[in-house]
Structure formats: C-alpha cells, structure tokens
C-alpha cells in the first residue's frame, strides 16, 4: 500500500442542494418552485415522494454543521433556493430567506468551513415557469436580479460562487426529456433554455464580482464522456454526437467558441432550429457567455458507451468489452469508471484551459443500511471514492490545476425523480426520525481529510 499526498492548499468538502435537503417547503415566506409542482404530478417521482420535508435541514442546519465539523470538512457546497429569497422570482424580496442563508454562512465560518454557494440548483420559482421558464429570455434577466440580491447580502462572507449547477440537466432533462421539472418535452424549448441558462451565467458573473470582491466565480457542468462501442464509423459518429449534445454544447460557448457547428447542423437538420438564424441568439450573447471565470466546477459520475444501432450492419460488429461487470455498477445503474475522471480532467485542461478546476460533485448511490449496532459498512462507496481520489491525484501529478473535491453527498437526500430510493450520502438519514448516522465511508473520508492523503488499496 502507498499513500498519495495532495497539495497543501487542496480543499476537501461535501456538497448538497437546497431542494434535496431543506424541506420546509412552505415556511417563512418561501414561494413554490417547479419541483413543488412537479412532485405533485402523478407518476413523476418513483416513490411518489417530494422534498416537502427531505432531511429537514432548514430546521436542523446547526446540527448538520456540527456534523460537518466532526467530519473535518474544510469546505461545504450548498445551494440557495431562489424562491426563498424571491417568492415570485423577480420582484419581492423575502428577508427571512436571506436571513436563513446568512446564519448558515456565519456558522460555517465560525467553524472554519469555507462556504461554497451555488445560486441555481434546479429549483426555479414556479412564477417564472408560468411566464415561460428558461426557454424565455426574461428568466435570464430575473436570474441576474436574484444573483445581485444574494451576492449583495452574502458577498462579504461567501468567497466562492457557482452560478449554475449542471446546465445540461436544467435544459435537456427539464425541457427535452421531461424527466425533471418542469417536465417538458420540446427540443426547441430545451435549446433555448440552454442558451438562456448560459446567458444568465455570463450576465451574473460581473454582478457577483462587483458585490463580492476577491471572490472566485465559476459554473458547474456535469460531464458524460462518450466512448464509441466499436471502431465503426457509425459508432464513432454517434459518440461524437453525444459528446456534442452533452459536453461541447456547454463547454464551447463558455470558452469562447460559440456553439459547436456540427451540433447546429444536427439540430437544424432535425428541424429543432431554423436554418437561417437562431431566434434566441442576440448580438453580444456569445461574448457575455464567454466571460472569464475563476474556475470550472466538474461533476463526474460515469462515462457512456455509445452505439449507433440504426444501421443493420452495425449489429454484427465486434463490440469493445469495457463495461465493468454489472455487480460493480452503483444503484443508479451507473458504471464505476474512475479512469474516466482522469481522462476528463486532462481533456478539460488541455482543450479548454479553465485555469482552475474543482470536482464539485462525485459520489455513488449504494443502499447499505445500518446493522444492529448502527454501523453502515458501505465498502463499495469507500472504494468508489478512493479510486476517484486516486484518479484526481494522477491528474494533479500530470499538471491539472485541481483545487478541491466535493463528495456528493454529505447526506442521503431527495434524489429528484428517484425520490428517496437512492442514497448518495456518506451520512445515513433515517427519514422517519431524521437521525443522521456516519457511514464507514464518512469515517474513512475524515481520515483522508485529516492526513490529506489517500491510500492506494
């Protein structure tokens, strides 16, 4: 066994998001969000649940910070619920909402835990969806007002800001596939949504900088590296398309390259976009989107093997067998592939040069439950994290400016359309009593943080 030492300045943390943990959905002036509506639609959530109560973090935040302290977290990534701050999304300000996050930030700082705030983690105020949601440009304008208000109130203490979490999910899962709120299925709307999310990021960055001097400001993307299932031209082309849809569509405009031309062709040929001009793009948008940022947040869980099964001759080609055995997949059905994190970080560093990167989410859903002694032997999660930490270390050794790592998630929580059927936490939550129990992976992680090292077996 050997031990890999991380840089002295490296920050270890854990992440959560507002709707997934807070509960208190209708308290202290919070307005409804698209998730309050979506969870009430029959059939949208696997176990019929919602985030109405979730982990009750809104009432238990002090205990939860004590838990973070006990784990030795150096930084904590949380998100702010827009509709707690602005119940109708664009006009009135709810002081109680601001006060909640202000107290949270103060206590984090008292405990020497660096607050890392995400402004938007999917919970759009329903009032904004009612006026068109992200496909409508006015939502991007509303986001800037919201970002201004929050950063004016917290910007003296919060020095790390993420504008958006996972624009791909916001746009394509929310408006094209419809598996997430608001549950629409419309390609053109999804493409407009993606543009307005990026635009709102570009507009908000200078505002946050103004209100929060010396802060680092960035955006978090989720990545899904695409690998062709065979060397055939068709499979390679399918992998290119998936990469364009999922990864390049966001990376390219953020780093000054506008939308990838091959994807514009795909979308116009499919009639999702008109051929002459794209109505939602206005003069100046691309330079706004490409505003320089201080870091790129990277969410990585798995890669995807892409096949083109449309051609009959494709069916008989030899397939590369590099899928991990199914019993090593996580409960989400996601392959465990730590090497993909190394490859992704190298690609981002060499192709886009973000200057600084954080892993803003990485983790695994496994259902291991407490035994009679209230111990949770989640060895698969520890192994998952260990192997991804090793991959991150390898990337640092290769020159990638990776500055920190947030495990997803601090605690089990509401996993969107899967409800409470998936447990990503390093801390177990008993949803009946709201008891929190450290899983073995949390105890192991505490040792990683204390020693700033990871063992290699």
Residue number with CB closer to ligand IFM (77 or 209) = 77
Find where tokens 């939550």 sit.
Answer: 429
Residue 39 interacts with ligand IFM (CB under 6 A)?
no
Q: Is 361 in the site for ligand IFM (CB under 6 A)?
A: yes
- Choosing from 22, 216, 361, 415, which is the catalytic residue? 361
Q: Which of 223, 408, 444, 445 binds ligand IFM (CB under 6 A)?
A: 408
Instruction: Select which of 166, 335, 415, 417 is catalytic.
Output: 166
Q: Which of the residues 372 through 401 are near ligand IFM (CB under 6 A)?
A: none
C-beta of 175 vs 408, nearer to ligand IFM: 408
> CA–CA separation, 357 vs 30, rounded Å?
33
Q: Does 64 bind ligand IFM (CB under 6 A)?
A: no
For ligand IFM, the closer CB: 37 or 272: 37
Strands 402-408 and 75-79: unpaired
Q: 123, 368, 415, 417: which one contacts ligand IFM (CB under 6 A)?
A: 415
CB closer to ligand IFM, 271 vs 328: 328
Q: Which is nearer to ligand IFM, 229 or 298 (CB)?
A: 298
Q: Which CB sits closer to ligand IFM, 18 or 142? A: 18
Show the DSSP H helices in 331-432 as ranges.
Answer: 339-347, 379-397
Instruction: Work out how close the CB of 330 gets to ligand IFM at its nearest, in angstroms, rounded to a whole number.
Output: 10
> Which residue lies nearer to ligand IFM by CB, 20 or 224?
20
Verify binding: residue 22, ligand IFM, rule CB under 6 A. no
Give, as ranges, the residues between 139 and 178 that touch ligand IFM (CB under 6 A): 166
Active-site residue flag, 361:
yes
SS3 453: strand
Tell me how far apart the alpha carbons of residues 355 and 135 are, in angstroms, rounded to a whole number: 31
Cβ burial, residue 157 (10 Å; 0-12/13-18/19+): middle
- Residues with Cβ < 8 Å from 31, sequence gap 6 or more? 83, 84, 86, 87, 88, 89, 94, 125, 126, 127
In angstroms, the Cα distances linking 29 to 24, 87, 98, 289 are 10, 7, 11, 33
Quote the least distance from Cβ 19 to ligand IFM, whole Å. Answer: 8
Find the shortest distance in angstroms from Cβ 15 to ligand IFM.
8
**Phi, psi at 267, each rounded to 5°:** -75, -30
State both tokens at 32: 């409804």
Among 12, 13, 14, 17, which residue interacts with ligand IFM (rule: CB under 6 A)? 17
User: Residue 4 pairs with which residues in a beta bridge?
Assistant: 454
How many chain residues bind ligand IFM (CB under 6 A)? 8
Residue linked to tokens 């997430």: 180
Residue 169 beta carbon to ligand IFM: minimum distance, rounded to whole angstroms: 7
Tokens of 398: 């290769």
Tell me whether the omega of the peptide bond preceding residue 141 falls within 30 degrees of 0, making it cis: no
φ, ψ of residue 420 to 5 degrees: the values are -100, 20
Q: Does 129 bind ligand IFM (CB under 6 A)?
A: no
Q: How far apart are CA 36 and CA 455, in angstroms?
A: 43
Residue 173 vs 215, nearer CB to ligand IFM:
173
Rounded to the nearest whole angstrom, what is the least distance from the CB of residue 17 to ligand IFM in the complex?
5
Contact between 35 and ligand IFM by CB under 6 A: the answer reads no
Check residue 232 for interaction with ligand IFM (CB under 6 A). Answer: no
* Residue 451: CB minimum distance to ligand IFM, A: 27
Q: Which of 171, 299, 382, 441 binds ligand IFM (CB under 6 A)?
A: 299
Instruction: Confirm if 158 and 213 have CB atoms less than 8 A apart.
Output: no
Q: How far is the CB of 65 from ligand IFM (least distance, A)?
A: 20
Answer yes or no: 166 catalytic.
yes
Q: Which of 148, 129, 121, 119 is nearest to 88 (CA)?
A: 129
Question: Is the Cβ–Cβ distance between 385 and 409 less than 8 Å?
Answer: no
Q: How many CB atoms lie within 10 A of CB 166?
A: 24
- Tell me how far, at minimum, the Cβ of 41 lies from ligand IFM, in Å: 19
> Under the rule (CB under 6 A), what is the footprint of ligand IFM?
17, 20, 166, 299, 361, 408, 415, 424
Active site residues: 166, 361
């Amino acid at each position: 066994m050997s031990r890999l030492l991380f840089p002295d300045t490296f920050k270890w943390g854990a992440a959560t998001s507002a709707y997934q943990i807070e509960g208190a959905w209708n308290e202290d002036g919070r307005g409804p969000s698209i998730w309050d509506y979506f969870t009430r639609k029959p059939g949208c959530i696997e176990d019929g649940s919602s985030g109405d109560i979730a982990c009750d973090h809104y009432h238990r935040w002090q205990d939860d910070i004590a838990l973070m302290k006990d784990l030795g977290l150096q930084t904590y990534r949380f998100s702010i619920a827009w509709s707690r701050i602005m119940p109708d999304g664009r006009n009135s300000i709810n002081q109680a909402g601001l006060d909640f996050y202000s107290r949270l930030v103060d206590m984090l700082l008292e405990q020497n835990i660096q607050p890392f705030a995400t402004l938007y983690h999917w919970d759009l105020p329903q009032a904004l969806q009612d006026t068109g949601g992200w496909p409508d440009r006015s939502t991007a304008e509303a986001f800037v007002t919201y970002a201004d208000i929050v950063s004016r109130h917290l910007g003296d203490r919060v020095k790390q800001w993420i504008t958006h979490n996972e624009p791909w999910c916001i746009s394509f899962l929310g408006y094209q596939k419809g598996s997430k709120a608001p549950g629409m299925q419309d390609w053109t709307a999804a493409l407009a949504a993606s543009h307005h999310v990026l635009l709102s990021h570009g507009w908000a960055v200078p505002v946050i900088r103004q209100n929060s001097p010396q802060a680092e400001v960035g955006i978090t993307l989720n990545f899904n590296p695409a690998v062709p299932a065979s060397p055939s031209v068709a499979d390679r082309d399918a992998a290119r398309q998936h990469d364009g849809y999922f990864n390049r569509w966001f990376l390219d405009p953020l780093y000054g390259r506008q939308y990838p031309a091959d994807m514009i062709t795909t979308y116009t040929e499919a009639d999702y976009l008109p051929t002459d001009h794209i109505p939602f793009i206005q003069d100046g948008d691309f330079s706004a989107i490409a505003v320089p940022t201080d870091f790129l947040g990277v969410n990585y869980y798995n890669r995807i093997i892409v096949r083109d099964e449309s051609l009959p001759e494709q069916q008989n080609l030899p397939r590369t067998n590099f899928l991990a055995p199914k019993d090593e997949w996580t409960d989400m059905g996601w392959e465990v592939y730590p090497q993909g994190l190394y490859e992704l970080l190298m690609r981002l560093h060499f192709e886009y040069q973000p200057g600084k990167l954080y892993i803003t989410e990485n983790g695994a859903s496994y259902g291991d439950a407490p035994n009679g002694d209230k111990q949770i032997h989640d060895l698969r999660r520890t192994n998952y994290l260990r192997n991804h930490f090793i991959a991150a270390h390898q990337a640092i050794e290769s020159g990638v400016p990776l500055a920190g790592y947030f495990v997803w998630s601090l605690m089990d929580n509401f996993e969107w359309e899967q409800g409470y059927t998936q447990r990503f936490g390093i801390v177990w939550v008993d949803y009946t009593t709201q008891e929190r129990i450290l899983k073995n992976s949390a105890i192991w992680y505490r040792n990683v943080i204390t020693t700033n090292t990871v063992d290699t077996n």
